[in-house]
Every structure is written in structure tokens, then in C-alpha cells.
Amino acid sequence: MRADAPAIALEQVAKRYGKVEAVRDVSFTLPQGVLAALVGHNGAGKTTLMKMMLGLARPTAGRMLVLGRDPSAGGIEARRQLGCLPENVTFNAALTGREMIRFFARLKGESTKAADGLLERVGLGAAAGRRIGTYSKGMRQRLGLAQALLGSPRLLLLDEPTTGLDPEVRQGFWSILAEFVARGTTVLLSSHALEELEGKAERVIILDRGRVVADGAMDELRRLARLPVRIRVRLAAGASRDWLPSDAVVLQDRDACEVEMACAPEEKMDLLRRVAAEGRATDLDLLPPTLDELYAHFLQGRSDLEARP
Amino acid sequence: MKGLLLVAGKEIREGMRNRWVVAATLLLAALALTLAFLGAAPAGRVGAGALEVVVVSLSSLSIFLLPLIALLISHDAIVGEMERGTMLLLLSYPLTRWQVVVGKFLGHVVILGVATLVGYGAAAVALAVAGEAIAADSWRAFALMIGSTVLLGAAFVALGTFVSAMVEARGTAAGIAVGLWLLSVLIWDMALLGMLVADQGQTIGAAMLDALLLLNPADAYRLFNLAGLPNVGQLSGMGGIAEGSGLSAPVLLGALGAWVLVPLAGAVAVFARREL
């Protein structure tokens, strides 16, 4: 595969289960070496999309290429270079963690040594000889991650990878992913823990009822949404308040007065200059719209559109 | 090929871990030993060789037990993994669908084969150790019995795998497996007998009876072991049917082989088209 060829290319892909349209008219391409997130409610079509990318379900319409090949053609070549972590991953409980990962390693033509190394890497070295039936949910999730990373994959498909992980393990998880992305691996993960994607996902694709409602870099989406920027200011003692915009909200007024105000993105600098004027404020926080707000905004936009006659 | 063996190996390992291998082996060995020593009593010391008696009683037992064990192991093979969610992960690996199905089938047949060989072999070894004189012919009959028993087991593993690839839920697979077992080991023969009695030889001739017997793997196995082997046929009381039947041992074995291959091919074809 050429270095500039997209890792994933979807063109008007649709999937219908009986009367239910799980995915409709989804098109996007992901270049190699990016970390992208699929965001959406349960039932928005994230898992169905991933199943189609794995060739486990056939699209009813549209075309898709994963690592340069059509996954529903049934070939196994693309799957050699692909790592996958399904949602709520489960394993055969009777086997030990080491047996399981070695089995998967052999399937991918990876050495058992590399497999053991990955177990260490996700912190399961000590539990490797125990049966998976005795593992906690977080441990199973880590084993799932370890098997996905086998064989230096060029594409990682991770469905809700951080559910059940402790905050500490979560940090490790993100740093491992960053390492793979730096080496040119494409990562597509789905999540509904939006706040943790901030600063990590270069690209966010928001799905709703099987449709893409927004797709872009986090900053781009913010610009598109034109959500107000909020500024939180701690006023200097005894400073006048008549310069405050009329929509400013007093958060607390005990030891020092804290107010929060919102403004359109293009008015941000004006407002900042007013705040920064001599003697008005002792501290300020700039709060860009969070992904949660963005998500709510785009979903809101959808229902407005649909409400129109 | 490598993927196939890896899947089969994992199935065997799981079978040993789940105690399937141990349980099946112990069950078969216990019954075989019991039959070898207690079952020989009515035959007394005249005429029949000890091992022939064991062949007759063990093959009668196998008809009930092996299909049951085979269906128990195999009905869960595919639908169970799909329900537990492990199939999704397995299929994200560079494995083709047929490798998964055939690998699981092979693993289950090895489990059954080991249980049969060790379990029934224990009885033969015990007889030999106890000082019974056993003719070379008897050994041959015994070896053929073990081989055809494994083949019978494989036929029902294939049937169970086919059912497992077809259905949506494990419960359905279990229900169909029980139904298949009852049909092949109990109902088929009774229905056949009823038909023959009702028909009074009007329409059902020898050729048709042969065909009906081949349509049930358990009957093909029964005929092969109880009637097809010299010295054993007289003991089992099946000699009558065998004489009127045009079914030779190779035909019976071929029928058993077809009962392995056809359902297995069906399972591969069905699973290849399934979406997860």
C-alpha cells in the first residue's frame, strides 16, 4: 500500500438490517497515521461500521476500502495488518492470559516472545498464568488491547476501548496509542467518553442514527458550530462592574467576586481586552466549548433540520 | 493450514481444560470395563471369544453414547462463540471462515477419538492382562469397532457443528441436538420397524430398506459392527438383516464418511455467508 493511500475509505456506505437502517450514506476517508474518533449514542452505528470494516457484515450499499482492500470480499490479507478490540471484549474463560495471547500471536505470525512482551506492557505480566475467568473487567480490557497491538498493525479498530479502565491505566493506554500513531498506524476508536478525546483525537466523526452529522478536526468543528467561548473572571477587589456585559453571571461573591460570561468566537478578543484593562481582574480562565457541547450542538442541529417541514 | 491447526489445537486445549476429555474418557472406560467383565458372564466360556462379546456390547453402547457426547460438545461450537462474543475477535484475525469451522470440527473429533481409544482400549488391555486368549481376528474386529466408533462420533460432531452454524441462539442448538439424537438412536429404528410391520412386505423391498438404513448414521454403524464382522454377526443376532441386505462393509463405511463430509460442508457453507 502506498504511503499516501488512505487507510480507510468509505463511500456512501449503508447497512440495513430488515427495516432498521443502522448506517446510511456514510462517506469519509482516513489517511494513514491519524487517530480518529467515532462519536455517537448507543445505536448510532459505530459498531456496525466497525463490523463492516472487518468484513463481518456486508454493506447493503456503497463502497469501502480498508487498507486498500474490500473487507467484504473475504480476503485475509488486510486482516494481517489490522488490530481490533471489540466492544465488551470476551475471551475463552478456561484459558490463561498467556495461552490466549500466544494463540492470537501465532495466528498473526508473531513470536510468542513479542506476545509475552505485550502482556507485560499492559500490566498483565503477573496475571499471565491465571485463567481469564478470574480476570476483572479492566484486566480483560487490557488483554483485549494487548491482542489488538500484536503484529505491528497498520490499522487499529477499537470499539469503546477505555471502558472499565482505571484512570492510571487509561493514561498508559493513550501513550501506547500515541506511540503507534507516531509510527504511522491509523487508529479509529469509538467512544462516548468525549472529554478524554480532547487533545488526543485529531479527527472527530460524529454519528447520529447511522448518519455522519459532523466530521473534522476538533478546532474545525468548534468553528463550524460557532459555540460561544466562555470566560471566567475573578474580579479585583473594589473594581467597578459596569463594564461587564449584561449576560455575565455571578458565580460566587464571598471572598472575591467570580463572574462568567459568554461571547461569540469573533468577539472573544474584544472582550478579553476589556477584561484585561487596568485594575479590573486578578485572574481569568478561557473555556473553549467542550466536545460534549459540540456533540449536543450537532445533534441539536439535526433535530432542527428534521423538524422543518 | 496453519490457522486450521491452531484453531483445532485451541479447541483440544479447551476441551482438556474444561474436563470434557477427562469426563468422556472416564465414562467410556468405566462402561467398557464393566461390560468386559460383567458382560462376559452370560456368554459363559463356550463359543464366543471374550473380545467379540465386548465388541458387540460396546458397539451397542456406542450407538447411544457417542452421538450424545459428540452433539454435546459440538452444538455450542459456533453459536456459543457468537453469543459470548469471542467469535467476533477470532474473525478479525487472518483466518478464513472454513478454517474456523473445520478447525473446531477437527479439535472435537480428536477429543472424541482420544476418549474412545483410551476408554475402549482400556477394556481390551484389561482382558488381555486378565489372561483371556484373544485371536487375531478378534483384535481386528475390535480395531474396526474403535475406528468406526470414531467415525460415528465425527458424523455427529459434523451434524452438531452444522446445527451450530445455522441457528441464532444456543438454546435452539441444544434443542435441535437433543432432537437429532432421539431421532437417530431411537425413533428412526422404531419407525422403520413400524413401517415394515404395517407394510407386510408390499412396497418396501430390500433395496429400500437398505437406503433407509443408510439414511441414519447410527444404523450404518450398527450394521457395520454387528452384522458386518465375522464371528460378531452371529453373536449380535443381526445376522438375519445382514444376509438379506446388499450393504457391504465398504458401502457402510462410505455412508458414515458421507455423514461426516456432507454436514461439515453444509456448516462451512452456512457459516461463510453469516453476518455477525
Nearest to B84 among A90, A99, A103 (CB): A90
What cell numbers appear for B253 in the block? 463405511
- What residues make up the domain containing B13? 2-273
Predicted confidence at residue A309, as pLDDT, reads 41
CB atoms A86 and B92 under 8 Å? yes
The reply to whether A73 touches chain B by the CB within 8 Å rule is no
Q: A8-223 has which CATH code?
A: 3.40.50.300
Residues of chain A numbered 135-154 and touching chain B (CB < 8 Å): 144, 147
Q: Alpha carbon A229 to chain centroid distance?
A: 23
**Paired residues of A283 in beta bridges:** A234
Predicted confidence at residue B229, as pLDDT, reads 62
If interface means Cβ-Cβ distance under 8 Å, which residues of chain B face chain A? Answer: 2-3, 6, 10, 13-14, 17-18, 84-86, 88-89, 91-97, 272, 275-276
| Rounded Cα distance, B113 and A101, in Å | 28
Q: How many CB pairs under 8 A join A and B?
A: 69
Determine the straight-line distance between the first and last CA of chain B, rounded to whole angstroms: 24
| Rounded Cα distance, A298 and A270, in Å | 27
What cell numbers appear for B154 in the block? 465425527
C-alpha gyration radius of chain A: 24
Q: Measure B86 CA to nearest chain A CA, in Å.
A: 6
CB atoms B92 and A82 under 8 Å? yes
Interface test with A, best of B14, B89, B104 (most A CBs within 10 A): B89
**Across A244-258, average pLDDT:** 82
What cell numbers appear for A263 in the block? 461571547
Is the model's pLDDT at A155 over the cut of 90? yes
What cell numbers appear for B218 in the block? 447410527
DSSP string, A83-105: EEE-TT----TTSBHHHHHHHHH
Longest dimension (CA), chain B: 63
Q: Measure B13 CA to nearest chain A CA, in Å.
A: 8
Predicted confidence at residue B36, as pLDDT, reads 80
Task: Give the residue from chain A lying closest to B3, CA to CA.
Answer: A107
CB atoms A91 and B86 under 8 Å? yes
Predicted confidence at residue A307, as pLDDT, reads 43
Question: Domain ranges in chain A?
Answer: 8-223, 228-288
**Across A182-211, average pLDDT:** 87
Nearest to A107 among B18, B84, B94 (CB): B94
Q: Measure A1 CA to nearest chain B CA, in Å.
A: 18
Q: Are strands A35-39 and A203-208 parallel, antiparallel or unpaired?
A: parallel
Tell me the chain A residues in contact with residue B13 when contact means C-beta distances shorter than 8 Å.
95, 99
| Rounded Cα distance, A38 and B166, in Å | 33
Q: At what angle do helices B97-129 and B20-38 cross, to 10 degrees?
A: 30
Predicted confidence at residue A308, as pLDDT, reads 41
Nearest to A76 among B10, B96, B275 (CB): B96
Residue B23, by phi and psi: left (phi above 0), alpha (psi -120 to 50) or beta?
alpha
The reply to whether A102 touches chain B by the CB within 8 Å rule is no
Q: Which residue has the higher pLDDT, B172 or A306?
A: B172
Task: Give the residue from chain B lying closest to A47, CA to CA.
Answer: B276
CB atoms A58 and B275 under 8 Å? yes
Instruction: Provide the CB-side half-sphere exposure for A139 (13 A, CA).
Output: 17
Task: Give the residue from chain B lying closest to A144, CA to CA.
Answer: B89
Tell me the chain A residues in contact with residue B14 when contact means C-beta distances shorter than 8 Å.
92, 94-95
- Do B164 and B173 meet the contact criterion of CB atoms below 8 Å apart? yes
Nearest to A57 among B89, B272, B276 (CB): B276
Tell me the chain B residues in contact with residue A79 when contact means C-beta distances shorter than 8 Å.
92-95
What cell numbers appear for A213 in the block? 452529522
What are the average pLDDT values for consecutive 10-residue runs of chain B, which has 276 residues?
92 89 91 78 55 82 92 94 92 93 96 93 85 79 91 96 95 95 92 87 80 90 77 59 69 92 96 88
Instruction: Provide the CB-side half-sphere exposure for A302 (13 A, CA).
Output: 16
CATH fold label, A228-288: Alpha-Beta Plaits (3.30.70)
The reply to whether A79 touches chain B by the CB within 8 Å rule is yes
Predicted confidence at residue B40, as pLDDT, reads 56
Is the model's pLDDT at A284 over the cut of 70? yes
Say which residue the cell 459505530 belongs to: A46
DSSP string, A4-57: TS-SEEEEEEEEEETTEEEEEEEEEEE-TT-EEEEE--TTSSHHHHHHHHHTSS
DSSP string, chain A: --TTS-SEEEEEEEEEETTEEEEEEEEEEE-TT-EEEEE--TTSSHHHHHHHHHTSS--SEEEEEETTB-GGG--SHHHHTEEEE-TT----TTSBHHHHHHHHHHHTT--HHHHHHHHHHTT-TTTTTSBGGG--HHHHHHHHHHHHTTT--SEEEEESTTTT--HHHHHHHHHHHHHHHHTT-EEEEEES-GGGGTTT-SEEEEEETTEEEEEE-HHHHHHHHTPPEEEEEEEPTT---TTS-TT-EEEEESSSEEEEEEE-GGGHHHHHHHHHSTTSEEEEEEEPPPHHHHHHHHHHHHHHHHH--
Say which residue the cell 487533545 belongs to: A199
| Rounded Cα distance, A71 and A85, in Å | 17
| Rounded Cα distance, B216 and B206, in Å | 16
Burial class (CB in 10 A: 0-12, 13-18, 19+), A246: exposed
Task: Give the residue from chain B lying closest to A145, CA to CA.
Answer: B89
Is the model's pLDDT at A229 over the cut of 90? no
Tell me the chain A residues in contact with residue B18 when contact means C-beta distances shorter than 8 Å.
94
Neighbours of B205 (CB within 10 A): 11
Amino acid at B177: A
Say which residue the cell 470480499 belongs to: A73
Tell me the chain A residues in contact with residue B92 when contact means C-beta distances shorter than 8 Å.
54, 56, 79, 82, 84, 86, 157
- Do A145 and A175 meet the contact criterion of CB atoms below 8 Å apart? no
Predicted confidence at residue A62, as pLDDT, reads 92
Quote the mean pLDDT of chain A: 87
Nearest to B95 among A76, A77, A82 (CB): A76
The reply to whether A92 touches chain B by the CB within 8 Å rule is yes
The reply to whether A103 touches chain B by the CB within 8 Å rule is yes
Predicted confidence at residue A95, as pLDDT, reads 92
**Total domains in the fold of chain B:** 1
What cell numbers appear for B213 in the block? 438404513
Q: At what angle do helices B249-273 and B97-129 cross, to 10 degrees?
A: 150
